[in-house]
Amino acid sequence: MQLRSNHLGNRGATLIEVMVAVTITSIGLLGMAGLMTASAKVNHGALEHTQASIAAQSLVDSMHINPIALQAGAYDGRYEESSSAGFDCRTQACAPVQAARYDRARFTAMLGASLPQAHANVQCNAAVPTSDGMCRLQIDWSQHAQMSGAESGTLQTLVWLFVP
């Protein structure tokens, strides 16, 4: 008994089969590129939230070690990018209110260096004898859609309620 081989089925892939395979592979690669873009956006947003948290923790620590200025309300108010202490409390002795100005300027510089269009607001009830001593720190910044090339950004906010 002799087996015959069908030579017609062994000729290889046709042009249509190759084009279908290339199309399917291309669609898969485009999907992967979209996934990578979305992942980069999420990672960038997480980085900005981490930077805001680090800056906030730095200011909270400064407020904790300077209760005199805290009681005087020296940390309260809006933190703008242009604020400057005019002196360095690391190299010279500072009064508590001067140290608070230095802390504010350092905090503002941290925000400006790591977050786009950032500003913050601090409101403490420490000066009111009947309050619970709670402070509220709010940091706002614009998270730009860097991957899509959009000019406008999404407003991001970090709010901390704490007792210094």
What digits encode the pLDDT tens for the residues 32-61?
999 999 999 889 889 999 999 999 999 999
| Residue 8 domain flag | no
| Residue 73 domain flag | yes
Length of the chain: 164
What digits encode the pLDDT tens for the residues 107-127?
999 999 989 889 999 998 755
| Residue 20 domain flag | yes
Domain with 119 in it: 13-162
| Residue 74 domain flag | yes
pTM for this model (two decimals): 0.74
Assign 3-class secondary structure to 75-91: CCEEECCCCCCCCCCCC
| Residue 77 domain flag | yes
Average pLDDT over residues 126-143: 77
Q: What is residue 98's predicted lDDT score, i.e. its pLDDT?
A: 93
Q: How far apart are CA 24 and CA 20, in angstroms?
A: 6
| Residue 4 domain flag | no
Between these two residues, 146 and 91, which has the higher pLDDT value?
91
| Residue 1 domain flag | no
Q: How far apart are CA 164 and CA 161, in angstroms?
A: 10
Q: Domain total for the chain?
A: 1
